Amino acid sequence: MKDCIGIINLDENEKGMGELVKKRVLGSVPIAGKYRIIDFVLSNMTNSGIECIGIFTKNKSRSLMDHLTNGRPWDLHRKKDGLKVFNFGDNEPYYEDVHNFLDNIAFVKYSRKEYVLLAPSYMICNIDYSEIIYNHKKSDNDITVIYKEVNNADKSFIDCDVLNIDEKNRVISVGENLGEKKHANISMEMYLMKTEIFIDIVYDSIRSGEYRKVKQFIHSKLKSLKVYAHKFEGYVSCINTLEEYYKTNMDFLDEDISHEIFCNKDLIYTKSKDCAPTQYTEDSVVKNSIIANGSYIEGEVEDCIIGRSVHVAKGVKLRGCILMQNAVIKANSEINNMIIEKGMEIGGNEKYIGTKNFPMVIYPRNFKY
């Protein structure tokens, strides 16, 4: 889709992510072993033929920039179009996105693309946008928003937008998921519109001073704008809390979900690193786990997600844990249902027991990103 520009909006709800976003943006948080959260939306866009992508981020973007490099993993290292990253101009930006878009509106104007696809990073899925873009072009709708019909809204997708839709799939109002009902039409916060409409929304939001976010403007203009709701049928998870982050990682241990996300015809790409294959000693026991390359496993690992270059020493017992890259677990330690940050070293003969509903994060004092 060479006539569509992709905008990844990292002005996301991070308040429930705790220490994981203390020194990095949500999009650069490790997930599923070797991936980062932003890999999913980036891959979805490039797999759909979008060749011009802008990432609008907050501060704390060092980790993000290190991961993105020049965009090569997503075939975005090119002279024309390709990948661009834009930061907030303020040192301490407010929780909003319209000013960031306004400061960098030239990127949208001079892209000379007819359509804009606006999406967050924290909606984890494998989606093909090309058909959605094609159908939007044929319609007379001003905006197409993608949503997921769920039956677990009482436990997941808390604080997400809920779409109220009429019989013609037109959005008539937007509410908030308070977790009181199981069934809900959850907005995936993915909006497709003509470039001129997007630019007008940014200008009108700034001019009126009433709207701090693009989606707020859209929600308030449902009577004047034709906003069509497109239903997505695949797996979706919204990582806006530590609990959802933990649950999503554990979901990847389900064979059906893992196959849909990672073994689809459209793959999820990430930054590659030159590491040796993971080594397993004769005494190691590994069950139902995802382990990235470069690791050395001597102990027992069950229902875990392990990143690159992790060392699990002899006598260690891990159950339901997420270990980020370069973590070290020394001999005879036992850890259950915990999130271990990048570069964290756990001493020998230690014991940490968490719960699946309230996972805890262990991180080093000198943690950088």
Q: Mind listing the pLDDT tens digit for each residue in 245-295?
A: 999 999 999 999 999 999 988 999 999 988 899 999 999 999 999 999 999
Residues 244 and 145 grouped into a single domain: yes
Residues 239 and 285 grouped into a single domain: no
Q: How many CB atoms lie within 10 A of CB 65?
A: 14
Give the domain extent around 351. 279-362
What is the predicted pLDDT for the residue at 364?
86
CB 17 within 8 A of CB 26: yes
- Structural domain count of the chain: 2
Residue 87 is part of a domain; what is its CATH number?
A: 3.90.550.10
Domain boundary pick from 205, 237, 262: 262
How far apart CA 306 and CA 280 sit, in angstroms, is 13
Residues 255 and 288 grouped into a single domain: no
| Own/partner long-range contacts of 45-48 (Cβ < 8 Å, ≥24 apart) | 45/6, 45/8, 45/117, 45/119, 45/129, 46/74, 46/75, 46/76, 46/269, 47/128, 47/266, 47/267, 48/1, 48/128, 48/129, 48/130, 48/133
What is the predicted pLDDT for the residue at 156?
96
The string of pLDDT tens digits covering residues 174-233 is: 999 999 999 999 999 999 999 999 999 999 999 998 999 999 999 999 999 999 999 999
The string of pLDDT tens digits covering residues 305-332 is: 999 999 999 999 999 999 999 999 999 9
- 204 occurs within a structural domain: yes
Positive or negative, the CA dihedral 221, 7, 35, 2 is: positive
- 168 occurs within a structural domain: yes
Mean pLDDT along residues 110-116? 94
- 271 occurs within a structural domain: no
Residue at token pair 């700034």: 206
- 48 occurs within a structural domain: yes
Instruction: List residues bridging with 17 in a β-sheet.
Output: none
Instruction: Fill in the DSSP letter of residue 232.
Output: P
Residues 21 and 129 grouped into a single domain: yes
Residues 240 and 290 grouped into a single domain: no
Q: What is the pTM of this model?
A: 0.95
- 338 occurs within a structural domain: yes
CB 322 within 8 A of CB 305: yes
If we measure between CA atoms, which residue out of 214, 219, 216, 220 comes closest to residue 200? 214
Residue 334 is part of a domain; what is its CATH number?
A: 2.160.10.10
Residues 254 and 290 grouped into a single domain: no
Tokens standing for 69? Answer: 């490099």
How far apart CA 119 and CA 195 sit, in angstroms, is 14
Domain boundary pick from 262, 287, 320: 262
CB 189 within 8 A of CB 161: yes
Largest CA distance in the chain: 67
Residues 81 and 136 grouped into a single domain: yes
If we measure between CA atoms, which residue out of 238, 95, 223 comes closest to residue 162? 238
Residues 213 and 310 grouped into a single domain: no
Domain boundary pick from 210, 232, 262: 262
Residues 68 and 215 grouped into a single domain: yes
For residue 95, pLDDT over 60 is answered with no
What is the predicted pLDDT for the residue at 89?
57
Sheet containing strand 345-346, edge to edge, reads: 279-280, 296-297, 311-312, 328-329, 345-346
In degrees rounded to 5, what are phi and psi of residue 298? -115, -25
CB 157 within 8 A of CB 237: no
Mean pLDDT along residues 148-158? 97
Residues 192 and 336 grouped into a single domain: no
- 367 occurs within a structural domain: no
- 147 occurs within a structural domain: yes
Residues 48 and 125 grouped into a single domain: yes
- 368 occurs within a structural domain: no
Residues 166 and 286 grouped into a single domain: no
